[in-house]
Homo-oligomer: A and B are copies of this chain.
Amino acid sequence: MSNVTIKDLAKLSGVSLATVSRVINQKGYVSQELSAKVLRAVEETGYRPNQAARSLVQRRTDSIGVIVHNLHDPFFYDLLRGFEQAAAEISYNVLFASVLGGDTKSKEKYLQYLSGGVVDAVVMYGSYMSDEEMLRCASPSSSVDYMLIENDIQGFKCNKLLINNVQGAYSAVEYLMGKGHTDIAHICGNPNKKVTIDRLNGYLAAMRDKGLEVQDGYLQQLSADYRNGYARMKSLLALKNRPTAVFCSDDAIASYAVRAALDAGLRVPEDISIMGFDFQTNLPERYRGPDLTTVKQPLYQIGFDSITLLAGQLKKGRFDQPERKVYDTQIVEQETVCGPCR
């Protein structure tokens, strides 16, 4: 209500604006006496500094913004834990913005808003092609430090945290082959995301390298969202040359593939093996099937590192050499893969 300013404090305590500022920010030397007077005035008035004025002159906000799609998506569980843990360990404020459905207009709005001096650095999660233009548009005028996760925009110089998707997918298929599978299908995700392409290529490379053929109908492309994994699996099951193993582009898809197999009266993994990717802690929509054998990416670590690295750069002042880190993946053996039973 009152909207007290340092001017009021100065008048009330009989000192200059500069002194008030010094006391409030605890920088510069102020005598005990004046300091006490100012502090009393702060107490009396309930004064709180205006952040806008402060960041306007200081050209920094001590805050970091994080932009993700669909904050509610259980996929973000581990990533969020990482962001939050890192946030708790630094003095910067961390603010999250969620772009529902990945709507481009909305994402652009948030990116430009945050880049306009609302935060000192921005983390963007996701492998979205459309981010490139957005960033080229928003970044030149701002002095914000960017951190891209899972999005290696060529020629755009900023911090990047990536995982080795091709290698991860390759190793998954190798793992299935090691169990004796040769009829291995793939349900790939949204083909407009780099991750999807990379994982698809990992699958294809492994098949090729081992001299295995990608049989008719073995490549299923998801439409809409991961729930469509159910229908894609149904299609695979209807094939004459039904695969004995299916590698899915991510765990959410895999969880729906398992549902489809179980609903079709098959046992998983005895009748059909299914692999995912991510090692996502909370699967969507109360998945109750067997725990997915999958390729783990270090989501918690990535979340944690993104914030921690940015905080370090901000503290240092100039961020001339952006970080670029590629994380390795790892097979997690759980309950949805075994050898083929035919």
Contacts and interface: CB of A to CB of B under 8 A. Distances in A.
Interface of A: 1-4, 45-53, 55-56, 61, 63, 65, 70-72, 74, 76-78, 80-81, 83-85, 87-88, 93-98, 100-101, 103, 106, 109-110, 112-113, 115-118, 137-138, 140-143, 281-286, 288, 291
Nearest to A113: B93
23 contacts: A1-B140, A1-B143, A2-B141, A3-B141, A4-B141, A48-B112, A48-B115, A49-B116, A50-B116, A51-B116, A52-B53, A52-B55, A53-B117, A72-B78, A72-B80, A83-B98, A84-B98, A93-B110, A93-B113, A95-B97, A96-B98, A281-B285, A282-B282
A143 to B, nearest CB: 6
Contact of A87 (B47, B93, B100, B112): B100
Given A88-B106, A282-B282, 5 more contacts: A46-B137, A93-B113, A94-B98, A95-B96, A96-B97
Contacts of A53: 52, 56, 117
A98 B96 CA distance: 8
Contacts of A117: 50-53
A116 B3 contact: no
A74 B71 contact: no
A72 B284 CA distance: 14
Given A4-B141, A48-B138, A100 B72 contact: no
A71 B52 CA distance: 26
Instruction: Specify how many copies of this chain sit in the oligomer.
Output: 2
Contacts of A94: 97-98
Given A98-B80, A115-B48, A138-B48, A93 B74 contact: no
Nearest to A97: B95
A88 B100 contact: yes
B56 A70 contact: no
Contacts of A47: 141
Given A46-B140, A46-B141, A93-B109, A87 B76 contact: no
Contact of A48 (B45, B46, B106, B141): B141
Contacts of A113: 51, 63, 93
Contacts of A142: 1, 3, 48
Nearest to A56: B52
Contacts of A51: 52, 113, 116-118
A52 to B, nearest CB: 4
A55 B61 CA distance: 13
A115 B85 CA distance: 23
Contacts of A48: 112, 115-116, 138, 141-142
